[in-house]
């Protein structure tokens, strides 16, 4: 099976961390971004980084930096769109996105997403985990917690996505459900592989996990 291209999403404002680039914070002697790159690289073809502002601050990582093409920080769908536009220029059919602040995501992420996409005319799959006792805004009708920055996305739907973002749609699952997107379920018995660093306390937790 052909490897998709990989796009790391780092276009957010990091307000709960006080602003700045969460991806450049250190965990266990490495930046979050380097940890994400190292985990994603074996799973994909080429990689790129979705980030806004001065691209030179990421120069050490030797990745194409893709800014949102739609202004106003409209959310992760804008980063997905930037990734799909880049992938179209590379002649690719799909991308997998991951979040730059989630350093422990599954090493088989791409394999599981692609397996779930079997038989789809346009592969569109979000990562999900079983929920515990808590309920979250990301919970699906099937009782799963979806992780909308971790997904497999088809280049063929990029213009449809562009129209949706321009129309003001920010919630990922509104668009994926419109196109009958699926969910690939990942195990949480050994902890949440999609734990992400949003706050200073989360950074301490990540340090301990590392």
Domain boundaries, the chain: 5-209
**Alpha helix locations (H) across the chain?**
32-40, 76-89, 109-116, 158-166, 172-178, 200-209
Which CATH number fits the domain 5-209, given the four candidates 1.10.10.10, 3.40.50.300, 3.90.550.10, 3.20.20.80?
Answer: 3.90.550.10
Burial class (CB in 10 A: 0-12, 13-18, 19+), 189: exposed
Q: Backbone phi, then psi, for 26, in 5-degree steps?
A: -95, 135
Token readout for 209 is 């996990």
Q: What DSSP assignment string belongs to 170-205?
A: --HHHHHHHTT-EEEE---TT--TT----SHHHHHH
d(Cα 27, Cα 71) in Å, to the nearest integer? 31
Say if CB 77 and CB 36 are below 8 A apart: no
pLDDT of residue 14: 46
3-state SS class at 65: strand
Given the DSSP bridges, would you call strands 30-31 and 26-27 parallel, antiparallel or unpaired? Answer: antiparallel
Residues constituting the chain: 210
Q: Kindly state the tokens that stand for 59.
A: 């120069």
In whole angstroms, what separates CA 144 from the centre of its chain? 17
Note down pLDDT in tens along the chain; length 210 residues: 789 999 999 976 544 444 568 889 988 889 999 999 999 999 999 999 999 989 999 999 999 999 998 877 678 999 999 999 999 999 999 999 999 999 999 999 999 999 999 999 999 999 999 976 554 445 555 679 999 999 999 999 999 999 999 999 989 999 999 999 999 999 998 889 999 998 888 888 888 888
* Residue 41 neighbours by CB distance under 10 Å: 12
Cβ atoms of 95 and 84 within 8 Å: the answer is: yes
């Amino acid at each position: 099976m052909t490897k998709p291209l990989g796009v790391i999403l780092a276009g957010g404002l990091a307000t709960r961390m006080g602003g700045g680039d969460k991806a450049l914070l250190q965990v266990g002697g490495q930046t979050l971004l380097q940890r994400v790159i190292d985990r994603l690289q074996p799973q994909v073809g080429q990689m790129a980084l979705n980030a806004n502002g001065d691209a030179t601050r990421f120069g050490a990582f030797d990745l194409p930096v893709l800014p949102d093409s739609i202004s106003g920080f409209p959310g992760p769908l804008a980063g997905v769109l930037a990734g799909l536009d880049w992938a179209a220029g590379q002649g690719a059919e799909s991308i997998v996105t991951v979040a730059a602040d989630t350093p422990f995501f599954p090493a088989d992420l791409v394999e599981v997403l692609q397996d779930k996409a079997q038989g789809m005319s346009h592969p569109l799959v979000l990562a999900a985990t079983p929920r515990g006792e808590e309920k979250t805004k990301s919970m699906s009708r099937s009782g799963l917690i979806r992780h909308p920055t971790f997904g497999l996305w088809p280049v063929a739907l990029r213009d449809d996505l562009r129209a949706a973002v321009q129309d003001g749609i920010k919630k990922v699952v509104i668009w994926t459900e419109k196109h009958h997107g699926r969910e690939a379920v990942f195990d949480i018995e050994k902890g949440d592989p999609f734990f992400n660093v949003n706050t200073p306390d989360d950074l301490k937790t990540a340090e301990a996990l590392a």
